[in-house]
Structure 1
Amino acid sequence: MRPTHALAVSILAIATLLSAACTDDSSAAQTNGSSGAAAVSESDSTSPEAKLTSSPKPSKSGVRAEPETEDVPKAKWKRSGPFKFKFLDYDFGDMRDTEKRSVVYEFFNAEDHPVRILEVKKSCGCTYPELELRVYQPGEDGKLKVTFDGNHRQGQDLKHVKILTDNVEDPIAEVSFKAYIIARIAIEPRSVFLGMLSRGEASKEKDFRIVSRNLDLKIESFESSDPERFPLTQGKVEHTVDHGDDVVVYNFTTSFKGDFAIDQHKTILKIKTNDKEKKYINVVALAQVVGPINVVPFKLQLRGVLPNKEFTHKIQLGPRAKETRFKIKEARLIGAQKELHLNLKQLPIDPKRNGWVALELTGKTPAQVDKKTGFQVKGSIYIRTDLAEQPEIIIPLSGVFRY
């Protein structure tokens, strides 16, 4: 990997962290006593009533939904895990943040033996799956109903639902859906990344805006939690049209300034409005101050959906400038949890990698996790180098294991 490519990977990783979409898998199952069905919901709540969408709808933005699937023969259904589905992906198109919509994924057991449903996992509390049966005989049909609640969401949203089974080979089936949520009050973007900067380097100014369908919206006050590093100013107010609606747009600008340590720096930009439902709006602003060594990833997130499964992650370190050379004098784990069986080692240096060094972290998902909170990953990777400008590197470990 060339340094420029690694830099792009780092930026992509930071952008992913800034995403406001839900990321932690969560699940809960309860028995529907009437027919042995399993209903899956968040925090023991029942799935919301919603209008059932029998076929995908076209999007106002011009993006077509999933093609019609009513006449698809079972021989052409799509495989995922032990099941075959009429379709795996679904597009709700445009929807308001006040709406709830549902879709039914039809499937059948494609194995030659019974398959037991162990658990259904969703990627967000906004998603409510319902599964009819817990055990499927070979060839037996089933239906997975999924309801999506657009409340408190905005823009393009992609969600996944995983079905965990006792099938020995390929035990996990997965379906997904997407929607474009038109919010009553939207923040665009929902967070601001100001770049990867050298020490003392100021970022370029970046804008974000509040787009409101409440035309009476007023900004009562705004402030940065760290005005020294992240100054915040308000720009012009505009009246325009968005998705066919009249909207009022408030523009803001922020940046990052100052000679600060090599680290990830962030703050909260606070905006107070006169809207009763959205009185306070918080926007995360973030900047990454980097040294002469590029670290990919600069944070490591561990996850898993099955117990006692081995995993491997690679950490790559390389020079940002061609003339930079360094050696790793020490690499070790700090605060490693014994339940994860973590092991860290340096891989042989590849002369073709132009000064890059790779570490390998291996481990195993914990045998047991708390059903409510999961297993919270803690600890970090400590790296000591011979480079005076960046003698130490710490890579935090995070993540949650949920089964």
Structure 2
Amino acid sequence: MRRFTLIALAIVAAALLIFILDEEVVAQFDAGRRRLTVEKALHDFGQVEEGEIVSASFIIFNGTDEPVRIESARSDRADTKCNCSARLLPPGEHAKLEATLDTASLRGKVVRNISLAVHDPDRRELSFTLSVTVEPLLAFIQPFVFVGQLPKGASYSGKIRLVGKLAAEKKPSELTVETSVRGIEAFIVSRAGPRQELEMHYVLLPELRAGSFEEMITVAAENPSASAQLQLIGQKLGDITVHPDRLHFFSTDHAGEPSQTIEFTSEKTFHITGIEDAGGSLEYELLMLEEGKRYRLDVRLRNRSQANILGLLKVHTDLAEQPLIDIPVIGGSR
């Protein structure tokens, strides 16, 4: 009995010793898994004025037992420059990654990513992020205006406010205005009111060429240099009548195949020379109803169960006054 007890105690002692040794091995293993670490991988500059150059530093620590080679530092955009203070980082030492962001021509919330390529067994790359909110020196309250469809021979006028530091400091005569095409005119005026605010008046003239347009108006200032751009989007109707002028595909019944028909008519002789489906979700067939005068386009969905459709059908013609007709496409299954 005594012998049995001694054997049992020996087994328990051996098991306890193995457990203790295992714990020590695990502790040594975990202690050996020291890594290359970053003190802080994100820097937010907060709100700055357009044109400022902002800088940030990131600290990298080599917690491994071996030197780590830093191979390269690169940013995802040309306006961000970065450089690391060391190419070979010894164990227990720090390196500094310097990054600068030029906010010229940037607006609103901006995020830039930086990658640091390293020669380390655990990780091949360290990632860093810069974020900043840029207040523009000069901008429109919105970057574009949807004009819609303009009848043949019609004009269109509108106005839009300028914002930013220079909009409050500059006079209309100190700003230049340029338009991207003939048929659009624009000028700057001071708004009446307690605050001196500037606004731009613009006019689309009757001689604006027929067809779809995405034209730009640019307002520029000097000392300091800044600019604001407004995009006018719409369609000027010409000699070709399009009905309907857009496609809607909404279906609650997947058993049927939604389809639409568009007719193109004109008193002038014209031919449809090509059709492009910018969204890639349509199938179509062009039929000539009357040579050079009347055409029909039958359009249907490739996938009738497609959840969301937002596209553009581009119809090309040989009529110089109306070479392109854009037909918006929206829809989806419900």
TM-score relative to the length of structure 2: 0.47
Structure label with greater radius of gyration: 2
In proportion to residue count, which structure has more helix? Answer: 2
- The TM-score normalised by the length of structure 1 is 0.41
